[in-house]
Amino acid sequence: MNRETKITYLILFAILLLASVLRLVHPTEIPFTNDEFNALLRTHFSSFSELIKNGVITDAHPAGVQVFLYYWTKLFGYSEIVVKLPFIICGICSVFYIFRIGKAWFNPTVGLVCAAFLAALEYSVMYSQIARPYASGLFFALAMVYYWNNIVFKPEERFYRNTFLYILFSTLCIYNHYFSFLVALMVGVTGLLFIPKKYVLKYMAAGIIVFILYIPHLHIFFYQFGIGGLPKLLAPPENDFIIEYLKYVFDFSPFIMAFTGFLFLYGVVYSIREKITSPNYLVISFCWFLIPFLTGFFYSRYVSPVLQYSVLIFSFPFLLLFLFGWLPEMQSNMKVILVFAICLLGIDSLIAERKYYSIFYSCRYEQIVLQSNHLNNYITTDNCLSLIQNEAELPEKYYAKKDNVDTTAFHFIENSPKKQPVIQLIEQEHKPYLSWGTVASGDPVYLAIFLHYYPYLVKEGDYYGGTFYLFSSLPGKGVSPYIFESVNTFRQDIPHWPPADKTFLVDSVYGSKSPSYKMDSLHEWAPSFTDTLSKMVTNNHNTITISVGILPLENLKDVFIVSELKSQDKSIYWNATPVNDCMVDSLHPVWQKAYHAVRLSDIDLNHPNIVAKIYIWNKAKKNFYMNNFKIETIQDNPVLYGLFQKIN
């Protein structure tokens, strides 16, 4: 082994060490994600057949990882680091195999550059720490490609050993995830274009063996594809999906993106000038990244939504190989400088810009439980109503048990469209403080309700995927959270509201101290609020809350509070809350409140000149009075989706 080779492997060792450190920072503090909870709940079966019937076939993934978790947890238990460790190891091994592929296809410099990026980017670090089929599939796909390369382009060297390993990792790919299945299929077909004729039959036999090994899974495959994906969980991708994906995988960092662009352009210019290219491998790399993306994109558009950032991780290494495969082999000192620069940029972005460890490690479920418990130690349960959103998987109760927290003082609230039970609970308890722990799937209408009864914010804990609030009804015990407010009391004309028809105004009704607006069979639409969104909010992490006083004269079925966002007369968002969902008493003419909310972080706001319109839609043309129509905006959790969005 010469000096250059020794230095190359020393650099690789340093990259692998960095990859290990970044994935094992405070290993016992890496939390479970919601997907992991869901998967672990599907391991509590008494037999393998029950696992397949109730834990695999009803899911949207192949059986491989679920079966592995079933036996792994039986052997070693359910602690976070024990469950995650095999996937962390897969993430580290992936860094090694992308180096081997880059070196074999191009040169050692390309292998080191790709390995450094894969070691330090948040995309690969995070999915290595999640016990789902992403890090495992990444490792299986890269290992498969390495041994595929050996049997296709160097069949004279250890053909049967390489074929055995190719079959092994191909089979693991197809049992792991349907997108790693796609990569295995894509790689297998590509081999037919390049393998020498002498080995074609043996190569095809390897493919037949892989298919035979998959036969036990075919009934699961056909059942799951009969369901048609995850239409209730995902939305079809937007046209700019690939642009947003590229921003995400390079950490939304202008420095990393600029450095990547520089290396790509330098490599292209150098290769063209020196006439040094590896066209086959460059075309293969580009196609192997593009095909899974296009397949997922069009399948999601025309069949069922499946495309997410996570499912492209199996083909992401080929994007790196295409971008950096143009680079020439460099001297050892340049390799050190180049890899050091990549790692430094990655570490800085991961820790300082993306705040990865503070965001990802602050488990929303655990923090909500701990914050609620902490309050009960300082604010007595007689003074504080503690509410926690109840998840179907009950992860909060897992962390309550883990952290020895007594949950008897907590009220677990179902995420239901019917808000009457919560309103009744608040009015019955009538406590000066209310705490609310919620995850991103929680209905923001709850926030509008709580702010009506508790208009002062004492404390807010912002976490990825969840938020903790402490509100007070006592002036001076908190601050007003509002950054925008518009209230239509129907007393006079106010900006952004059209003049009310005075023939339908009544000075007072059933004790109301302010004028009321009558809605009846002649009124399908009430006066609406309209304003430019940019004047109402400071950023896309704000939440708009709406409340309106309602006095029902009959059951108000099919009467809604509606919010709509338009850009250049094109609707980009529309949502409605039935006022009946908040009516505690719909049988008597008693003034009550109806609520609605718009969480902007759930909406694609990448549109020009967005206009917000909020109004009552009396679709059924019912009879009721309304007053005190309030539109208010609050600052909200800036890191709610911080692992997948740019952090402002």
Same domain, 195 and 312: yes
Length of the chain: 648
Same domain, 462 and 486: no
Which pLDDT score, from 0 to 100, does residue 637 have? 92
Q: Does 180 score more than 90 pLDDT?
A: yes
Which pLDDT score, from 0 to 100, does residue 527 have? 86
Buried b (16+ CB within 10 A) or exposed e, 495-506: ebbeebeeebee
Give the pTM: 0.90
Q: What are the distances in angstroms from CA 450 to CA 538, 591, 638?
A: 22, 18, 20
For 459-473, the pLDDT digits (tens) are: 999 999 899 999 999
For 328-358, the pLDDT digits (tens) are: 999 999 999 999 999 999 999 999 999 999 9
Which pLDDT score, from 0 to 100, does residue 425 have? 92
Q: Tokens for 315?
A: 């083909």
Confirm whether 493 is domain-assigned: yes
The structure tokens 């006592």 sit at 474
Which pLDDT score, from 0 to 100, does residue 396 have? 67
Q: Of the candidates 628, 633, 641, which has an alpha carbon nearest to the alpha carbon of residue 601?
A: 641
For 560-582, the pLDDT digits (tens) are: 999 999 998 899 999 999 999 99
Name the amino acid, one letter, at 468.
F
Q: What is the percentage of the chain residues whose pLDDT exceeds 70?
A: 96
Same domain, 343 and 447: no
For 63-116, the pLDDT digits (tens) are: 999 999 999 999 999 999 999 999 999 999 999 999 999 999 999 999 999 999
The structure tokens 């230095």 sit at 7
Work out the mean pLDDT of the chain and round it to a whole number: 91
Q: Does 148 score more than 50 pLDDT?
A: yes
Alpha carbons 526 and 618: distance in angstroms, whole number: 8
Assign 526 a pLDDT band (cuts: 50, 70, 90).
confident
Q: What is the percentage of the chain residues whose pLDDT exceeds 90?
A: 69
CA atoms 358, 361, 365, 371: torsion sign:
negative
- Detail the DSSP E strand segments found in 520-585: 529-532, 543-552, 560-567, 570-578
Same domain, 488 and 602: yes
Which pLDDT score, from 0 to 100, does residue 511 have? 65
DSSP-derived 3-state class of residue 585: coil
Confirm whether 646 is domain-assigned: no
Assign 125 a pLDDT band (cuts: 50, 70, 90).
very high
Domain endpoint, select from 325, 360, 395: 360
Same domain, 176 and 197: yes
* End-to-end CA, the chain: 49
Which pLDDT score, from 0 to 100, does residue 323 have? 97
Which pLDDT score, from 0 to 100, does residue 371 have? 87
Same domain, 226 and 211: yes
Q: Are 506 and 515 in contact (CB under 8 A)?
A: yes
Confirm whether 415 is domain-assigned: yes
Quickly list H helices, 51-106. Answer: 64-76, 80-105
Same domain, 53 and 183: yes
Q: Does 226 score more than 80 pLDDT?
A: no
**Can you give the CATH number for the domain in which 514 is found?**
2.60.120.260
| Helix 133-153 with 178-194: angle, nearest 10 deg | 10
Which pLDDT score, from 0 to 100, does residue 394 have? 59
524 vs 514: which has the higher pLDDT: 524
Same domain, 459 and 354: no
Q: Tokens for 313?
A: 């991780």
Q: Does 424 score more than 90 pLDDT?
A: yes
Assign 277 a pLDDT band (cuts: 50, 70, 90).
low
**Domain count of the fold of the chain:** 3
Confirm whether 147 is domain-assigned: yes
Q: Which residues pair with 387 in a beta bridge?
A: 411, 436
Q: What are the distances in angstroms from CA 167 to CA 185, 195, 451?
A: 12, 16, 59
Same domain, 161 and 60: yes
Confirm whether 175 is domain-assigned: yes
Which pLDDT score, from 0 to 100, does residue 619 have? 93
Q: Which residues pair with 634 in a beta bridge?
A: 482, 543
Q: Does 548 score more than 60 pLDDT?
A: yes
Cβ neighbours around 261 below 10 Å, total: 12
Which pLDDT score, from 0 to 100, does residue 377 have? 65
Confirm whether 648 is domain-assigned: no
Q: Does 433 score more than 90 pLDDT?
A: yes
Domain endpoint, select from 314, 341, 360: 360
Alpha carbons 419 and 180: distance in angstroms, whole number: 43
Assign 228 a pLDDT band (cuts: 50, 70, 90).
very low
Same domain, 368 and 344: no
Domain endpoint, select from 324, 345, 360: 360
Confirm whether 529 is domain-assigned: yes
Confirm whether 71 is domain-assigned: yes
Which pLDDT score, from 0 to 100, does residue 230 have? 47
For 24-74, the pLDDT digits (tens) are: 999 999 999 989 988 998 998 989 999 999 889 888 899 999 999 999 999
**All residues at 6 or more sequence positions from 509 whose CB lies less than 8 Å from its CB, including other chains:** 516, 551, 625
Q: Which domain holds residue 308?
A: 3-360
By DSSP bridging, strand 482-488 and strand 624-634 are antiparallel
Alpha carbons 157 and 139: distance in angstroms, whole number: 23
Same domain, 513 and 401: no
Same domain, 352 and 380: no
